[in-house]
Amino acid sequence: MRLLHRLAAPAAAVLVSAALITVPHPAHAAAAPSVITVRPAAAPGSLDPVIAAIKRQFAGKSGVRFTAKAVERTYGFIGTVISSGAYRFSASGVYASDVMSRDEDGWRFRLRNVGRVSYVQDSRYDSLPKGKKWRLQGDAPNFRWNNDLVDGINLGFLALAASQSHSVADGGTVEGTPCTLHKGMATVAVLSTTQPGVRFGMKDEDDTWAGGTISWRLWTGPDHLPRRFNAVITWDKPPDEKDIGFDYVKLNKIYRHWGSDFTITHPPKALVAPE
């Protein structure tokens, strides 16, 4: 089984929310979403303490590890990707990441970002030259962390979530940690996929791209840091796909070991093949 992704750039490429091949489609493909401008709305269960706790982690320049599962339906295909990795922070957010993903057919994909530079390992779609372990992607926006990713530790997404309808409740426990459950629904004008995940935009400047809804749940611990994030991201159904049905991504992500001290570095130059 293969999983098809919408493309956030004009040409086909190997992309993943969690690493699978992308096929462009005019009703779903999206240029880089517009700059996020959201105004926090008065609502129960403010996410302000969560945002403040994450900012403290950024200021401490530490890191967090995670595991994730993504199930996607696109153009009638359904597939599952499992991923695990780590994010390293700078004062402004995620500075470096190293993520390994695999699908049910055994395909493996690894993405490493350090600053604005990206490197990939692709077991199916990229045969590296002898002696090389990585493919350089360079300064490629579709391979980097952005503040418009749908993710439970992304301040841009949390600002969006806080600006639309949401609530708070007891969240039980996540891996033994007592949690508060924040949940809500957000409507956006643009949805697209890139290597690190699904991106959103609040304005479709070209009036040609598909938006949709994001139903989300975020479990946070007593320290207000995210422990689990769940999202169902559903694209608006374009008229020419009425017999195929809605496209969606169902994402479940677990965050562990907040405050971890580890290093994510550029691979040795001798092991990197050019773009």
Give 187-205 pLDDT, tens digit per residue. 999 898 888 899 998 887 7
As a whole number of angstroms, the distance between CA 238 and CA 240 comes to 6
CB 28 within 8 A of CB 6: yes
As a whole number of angstroms, the distance between CA 235 and CA 215 comes to 12
Binning the chain into helix, strand and coil, the percentages to the nearest 5 are 10, 45, 45
Task: Say what the pTM is.
Answer: 0.83
Pairing type for strands 197-201 and 190-194 reads: antiparallel
The three-class DSSP label of residue 16 is coil
pLDDT category of residue 208 using cuts at 50, 70 and 90: low
- Fill in the amino acid letter for 104: E
pLDDT category of residue 34 using cuts at 50, 70 and 90: very low
Nearest 5°: the CA angle 125, 131, 135 is 40
What average pLDDT does the segment 168-188 reach?
A: 96
CB 47 within 8 A of CB 186: no
Domain boundaries of the chain, sorted by first residue: 14-106+147-263
